[in-house]
Every structure is written in C-alpha cells, then in structure tokens.
C-alpha cells in the first residue's frame, strides 16, 4: 500500500473517530431518568459581561441519582445561573436556597421518553451522515491518488473495499450506541 493511501486511511479514520466522539457528547446532553451533570454543558451564564459555561463557575454534584446540586464559586450569581438554566430549556426548573441550586429530575413521562428516543435516533443519523461524508472524502482522495500515482485497477478496488469496511465498522458502532442510549432513555 502506498504512503498516500495509508495517509488517506489515517485521515479518514480520524474523521470517523471524531464523529463518534461528537455522538457521545450529544448523547450526554439527552435527558434520561438519571441526573447527569453533562446536561448542563449547554448552559452559559452572563458573568461580568462575558458568556461563561456554568460548569466552569460552579461545582456540580449528583445527589441520590435524581438531583443535581450546583454550588457556584461566587454566591452573588445565583440568580443569573437560575435564569441561564431556564433559558437553556433543559426541561428542569431550578430550586435555589440562597447557597446552591438543586435540579430535581422527575421520572420522565412516556411521551417525553419517546421524544428523547427520537432525538437519540436523529443524533445517530447525523453521525452516520458524518461517517458517510468521511467515506466520500476518502473515495475522492483515492481517485486523485489513482490519477497521480497511476495505481493498478485491482489496488484501487481493494482500497475501495477497505474504505467500505471501515465505514461499515463505524456505522455498526453508531447503531450499537444508538440502541444502548434508546434503552437507557426508554427505561422507567
């Protein structure tokens, strides 16, 4: 295998790995029946005129599996944090006691679980599109390499098969991740 083809695979696999990493980040923000601090990754608070991620300005802990406790390092911004949580529309109403904010995760309704499962499928499909785009880029690059290096036809065919196998591998990973997350979301 030529050096250009090896680089093609390294670059393509890296893109597919990044798609899987993005899938995991997005799945973390999909609400399930358990309290997960990563749901707060979308929450940004105005702090001295600068938008600041909530998790950088406070300690977030899970209490009894269904409650998140947010303890800000600066107690004067409790109101701003509450507003930011409401604005982020994570589906939980914050409760403040003047020192910290509690987010109680009530059991999800059947309808809300179905909506979350749809969201999981949508994220999975978007990730598959990213993997297919990486495959397309790899195939396009292979055509350029074929012209530049005048590769034999059987080598090009073998390389295309390897590209497809790599794509199938990552598509399978996505299907498994989507299935697992759907089970987690649908569990009462």
Indicate whether 55 and 94 sit together in one domain.
yes
Q: Domain of 165: which CATH number?
A: 1.10.132.20
In the chain, how many domains are there? Answer: 2
* pLDDT tens-digit series, residues 25-39: 888 777 776 777 888
Domain limits at 54?
37-104
pTM more than 0.85: no
pLDDT in tens, 80-99: 999 888 888 777 889 989 89
Could you tell me which residues come within 8 angstroms of residue 26 by beta carbon, excluding any fewer than 6 positions away?
123
Identify the domain boundary among 71, 104, 137.
104
Mean pLDDT throughout 125-130? 96
Q: What is the C-alpha to C-alpha distance for residues 63 and 80, in angstroms, rounded to an integer?
A: 22
Cα gap 138→11, rounded to integer Å: 8
């Amino acid at each position: 295998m030529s050096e250009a083809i090896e680089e093609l695979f390294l670059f393509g696999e890296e893109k597919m790995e990044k798609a899987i990493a993005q899938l995991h980040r997005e799945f973390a923000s999909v609400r399930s029946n358990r309290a997960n601090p990563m749901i707060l990754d979308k929450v940004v608070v105005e702090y001295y005129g600068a938008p600041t991620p909530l998790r950088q300005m406070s300690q977030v802990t899970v209490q009894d599996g269904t409650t998140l406790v947010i303890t800000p390092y600066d107690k004067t911004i409790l109101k701003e944090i509450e507003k930011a949580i409401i604005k982020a529309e994570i589906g939980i109403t914050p409760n403040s006691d003047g020192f910290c904010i509690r987010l109680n995760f009530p059991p999800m309704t059947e309808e809300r679980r179905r909506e979350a499962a749809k969201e999981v499928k949508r994220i999975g499909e978007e990730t598959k599109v990213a993997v297919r785009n990486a495959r397309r880029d790899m195939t396009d690059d292979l055509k350029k390499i074929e012209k530049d290096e005048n590769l034999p036809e059987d080598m090009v065919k073998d390389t295309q098969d390897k590209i497809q196998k790599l794509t199938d591998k990552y598509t399978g990973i996505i299907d498994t991740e989507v299935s697992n997350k759907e089970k987690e979301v649908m569990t009462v």
